[in-house]
Amino acid sequence: MFVLIWATLLFCMKYGSTVTGASLETRRACQGAYCITLSDGIIRAEAGLCVVIPCSFTTSTYFYPKSVDWFKCGRYQQRCQESDIVFSSDSSKVQSGFIGRVKQLELDINQNNCSIIINDLTASDSGYYQLRVNGFNDYWNPERFQYSAKTAVSVKDLTQKPSLMVPPLTEGQQTTLICTAPGLCSGSAPEFTWTRREGGQNESIITGKIKTENLSAFEQRHSSTLTFTPAAEHHGNNVTCRVSFTGGMITEETVMLNVNYVKEVQVSVNTPVTEGETLNLTCSVESFPPFLLTWTKLSDQSIQNGTETDLNNETSTIQENQTETYLQQGIGEVTFSLANVTAKDSGLYVCTAKHLNHTLMRDVEVQVRYLKTPVITGNTSLAKEDTLNLTCSVESFPPSLITWTFLGSDTELQSDTGSSTLIIRQMTTENSGRYICIAKYLNSTVAVYADVSVTWFPSIFKNSGCEIQSQVLTCVCLSEGFPLPTIKWPLLNGHTQYSVITTVTNHTVNSTITLTVKEHSNTSAECVSSNENGEVTESLSIHSNMSQKGADRLKNVSWLEVIIAFFLGLLLSAVLCFLGKKCKRKKQGDSENLEKTLELVTSQEDPLIDAGQAAEDDHTYDQEVTEGGEAAAEEKPAQDLDGGPNDVQYASIDFSALKKRTVKKQETTETEYAEIKIEVKEQSENHNETKGELLEDKEEEVTIKEDEETKDDVPEEEEGEDVAIYSTVMDR
């Protein structure tokens, strides 16, 4: 706020409305922790106007300001008295001559701003002004501090004049004169009086309209307007604007009226013009007396280039959605120069000559040749499968040819004039790279580029998982993404012995870990895949193989179940043993009966089995089993004394004679097998290395021929059928 006050003071000085010759330098005076900053030197002002006394202060840390009081007293009076108060929050303490004329610029005292403005100045306001700050201490007891430093104000007679503005006068066209009072004060409004003197004749009083503009809370502009239609006889007349302030202060300003006419307008321009050069527009006219020429610029073209138009008023040259910008005015001839022209300076420029009851105009179209830097718009960070949409545009005159290319490729992707849009659908990571926009303008080329990146968020495949076998946990995590993701295993935290194998294929990462876990029921496996685009976490299920599942089930079997299973096993073993003994007895009985019915016929002179027949039987054993339709019974070889197995071989015995009672009892031919056990003698130097030599197999074929007497009793369908029964022959 304090800066604003000083800016207000400068503004008032510029327009001669508040102070004249005031010094902007300041001085700071301190009394311990209490400091005040005031204007250095005398603040000079004029009667009838106003003056601003800039001020700021500081206090001690235990003092809290609440309000300020201003005093006016003598220069050598060290401390002003209560009767000298010119401003206070308590108006009853203020001197009567200052009531309503003094205002504090900043109402918030916590801003430490103590500046004031004094309106409706008189010569008696000259003197020295002193400040006092009212407040409380830390104990909320009222306190006040009066600074010894003072600032001086000097009020002189009013010398500033009103500002009288007279626009160009044309016969028959209504015009308005504006008279502005000096000073931007917020005090009493001044009075305005208009007078006109025709040659040496008497003055005539003209009534004007008073207008007040509030520029700020403490600044007001007072003016009066006089509207009339000038005529040729008004040329050379003097018009006076008189302003009267409170206290009898009067100031005035007088101007001479000139009513002009115009004949012809000429325009010249140095076109074409390139950006950075200087544009010169010259408008001239032959006339008497001189007239006013005005250069303006229209935002849109509304008049054909090089035409001269006679219009009734200036507003008819501006169509809808158009604005007119004032550039320059002159008398007789006016040249508008614009250095370092840019593209914004292109447009329609109009020279207007106003005179009497018509307006003459001459316009010219100016095109500034220029080239701006190409601009690329659009999203350059895309996800996989997104659509790339980049637009390259360039402002230039004449228009530029825009071409899209891809770095590393000579193929032209897109081409257009002024603006070109490149669209690529279903972007992949291979589409990432630099896309170049080339603008060709006249004999120059400008290029810009955009780096496009296709992001691929990491994802974990569903076939990722874990398997545990014999307390060895193996987990596999498959993830894809771009840039290539990194796989982390939170499960490895706290483990010191493990192995991690990572393989990469295109944009897929395969990470496999192996570690030992004693109790996997409490083990949870997580796979974390991340890249610069994001992170994804997947909980992996743990599967056990069959052996591990069986081991786990055994762990869950209770001791009671084990005892029950043990006794059930004993009971089952006893039952099987009983059944085995019973079957054995029955088998022995059947064997005794069979021995009684069979007669084995053997002879040394006519052996039943020769060497060749024995060898042949070895090769035909499998065939005989197949033809008989019965499977051979196998027994586990017995162990010899040395622990080696006994080989089992079979011999074929032909029964040529069966007793009649035996044959009659059998409806079909039966084949039985007898085992021939051969001992295998083993020779070894130590029991750990057992290499046995197989003894020569001995086979004996016993052929029992049928009794001729009994053969006759056998039915025809049974004749000729031999029953082969294999017996066990033990080699001793």
* Domain range summary for the chain, segments of one domain joined by +: 2-156, 163-259, 261-369, 372-456, 461-550, 598-726
Q: What is the pLDDT of residues 176-206, one digit of tens each?
A: 999 999 988 888 889 999 998 876 666 778 7
Q: Specify the residue for token string 């874990």.
A: 466
- For position 634, what pLDDT does the model report? 36
CATH number assigned to the domain covering 261-369? 2.60.40.10
- For position 558, what pLDDT does the model report? 53
Instruction: Pick the closest to residue 1 from 110, 133, 89, 86 (CA basis).
Output: 110
- For position 112, what pLDDT does the model report? 92
DSSP state of 646: P
- For position 202, what pLDDT does the model report? 65
CATH T-level assignment (fold) for domain 461-550: Immunoglobulin-like (2.60.40)
- For position 509, what pLDDT does the model report? 92
Q: Tell me which residues of the chain have a pLDDT lower than 70.
A: 1-24, 199-202, 261-262, 288, 299-323, 356-358, 520-522, 545-562, 584-732
Q: What are phi and psi of 387, to 5 degrees?
A: -105, 130
- For position 242, what pLDDT does the model report? 92
User: What is the assigned CATH class of domain 2-156?
Assistant: mainly beta
Rounded Cα–Cα distance for residues 329 and 339 (Å)? 18
CATH number assigned to the domain covering 372-456? 2.60.40.10
- For position 506, what pLDDT does the model report? 78
Rounded Cα–Cα distance for residues 578 and 593 (Å)? 24
Consecutive H or E run containing 143: strand 142-156
**Residues in Cβ contact with 91 at an 8 Å cutoff, skipping those fewer than 6 apart:** 99
- For position 577, what pLDDT does the model report? 84
Distances (CA, A) of 546 to 364, 463, 543: 97, 20, 10
| Of the options 3.10.129.10, 3.40.50.300, 3.40.50.2000, 2.60.40.10, the CATH number for the domain spanning 163-259 | 2.60.40.10
Dihedral angle, C-alpha 83, 84, 88, 94, nearest 10 °: 60
Q: In a 3-state reduction of DSSP, which class is residue 398? A: coil
- For position 292, what pLDDT does the model report? 83
CATH fold match for the domains 2-156 and 163-259: yes
Q: Are 183 and 50 in contact (CB under 8 A)?
A: yes
Instruction: Pick the closest to residue 237 from 201, 281, 192, 285 (CA basis).
Output: 201
Strands 42-46 and 85-87: unpaired
Q: How many CB atoms lie within 10 A of CB 718?
A: 16
Confirm whether pTM is higher than 0.75.
no
Distances (CA, A) of 200 to 237, 256, 668: 10, 13, 174
Q: What are phi and psi of 48, to 5 degrees?
A: 90, -20
- For position 633, what pLDDT does the model report? 34
Q: How many CA within 13 A on the CB side of residue 293?
A: 29
Q: Are 434 and 493 in contact (CB under 8 A)?
A: no
